[in-house]
Structure 1
C-alpha cells in the first residue's frame, strides 16, 4: 500500500524531514536507525527531496544576541514616487536587514532589522529617507519565529 500524502510525501519522507528539522547534521546512520530503514534508503530519500525542491539546503542558524544584536525592529517602507527599484536595491545592500518582504498595499516592503543599540536605528533609517517614508516598531518578543511550513 502506498502511503503517499496529498502533497506527494509519504510517512517516511515526513519522518526524515522532522528529524532533519531537529538536527540537519544528523548522520545517515542515525537517521536510518530512527526511521527504521537503511542508510542508503535515507540518503536516496533526502536526495529525492532535494531534487523535488522540498529540501532547499542545510543551514546554520545564528543567534543574533550572541553576536551583540540585542534589539530587532520591524520597518515598513513606503517608497516615494519613482523610487521603488532604488529602495529595493538599498534594502538588499543593507546587511542589518535580515529579512524583507515585498508586500501589497501602501507599504512596498516590510523588513526586519537587527540593532546592537537603539541609537543605531535613526542613522540606519536615515539612509532610506530620500527613497521612502518608514514606520518602525521595536520587537518585544517573537512568539512564532520563522518556522517551516506544515507538511
Structure 2
C-alpha cells in the first residue's frame, strides 16, 4: 500500500469507507454524523479517496430476476484458440449478457459471469462464447452471500500471517 493510501485509510478513513460500502447514497451530512466529522471534512476525505483511486465508482445493485433475467452462470473458457487473452476478452466483452470477465491463471483461462432470460438463451450465449475458447459452465443456483464489505481487518490478518511464515 502506498504512503498516500495509508494516510487516507486511518481509522476514520476506514469507517467512512465501511459506511459508503454499506450505502453509497448516504449524504455527506449523514456520513459525518455517523463517524463524527463535519460535512466539509467528509467531502474532502471522499474526494481524496476518489482521486487516489481507492473509491472507483458508485453503482446501483439490481435484482436480475425482477428484470426478467433469472439465469446466471459462471463460464470458464480454456484453450482460447491461440489468440491473446486480450483479444479473447475483447470478443467476450462485446456480448451484452456478460456481467464480469476475469483473466485467471491456468491454461490461459478466462472466467465469465453471464446472465440470461432462460436456459435456451444461456445455451446461445455459451455457443457464442465457444468461439473464444472451450467453455465449461456452472449455473448459479443461489447466492447466499452477494457482496462482502472490505474491512480493515484483512490487512491486519494478512500481516500477522506473513509474520508467522
Q: TM-score, normalised by structure 2?
A: 0.79
Find out whether 1:40 has 2:67 as its counterpart.
no
> Is there any run of 5+ residues in structure 2 with no aligned partner, and where?
153-165
Give yes or no for contact 1:97–1:114 (8 Å, CA) kept in 2: yes
Deviation digits for residues 53-98 of structure 1 (CA, Å, limit 9, x no counterpart)? 1111222222211211111111010134323454322211011010
Pairing 1:104–2:105 present: yes
Size of the aligned set, in residue pairs, is 146
In 2, distance between residues paired with 1:50 and 1:106?
A: 36
Partner of 2:26, secondary structure, is coil
SS of 2:129 mapped into structure 1: coil
Partner of 2:73: 73
SS in 1 for 2:55: coil
Q: Quote the residue 1:3 is aligned against.
A: none
Flag the 1:128–1:35 CA change in 2: closer, same or farther, 3 A.
Answer: closer
Q: Partners in 1 of 2:13 and 2:76 — Cα distance?
A: 38
TM-score, normalised on structure 1? 0.85
Question: Residues 57-136 of structure 1: matches in 2 within 5 Å?
Answer: 57-84=57-84, 85-106=86-107, 108-136=109-137
Matching of residues 2-21 of structure 1 within 5 Å:
7-8=6-7, 9-21=9-21
RMSD: 2.0
More helix by share: 2
Task: State whether residues 18 and 150 of structure 2, in contact with CA within 8 Å, keep that contact through their aligned partners in structure 1.
Answer: no
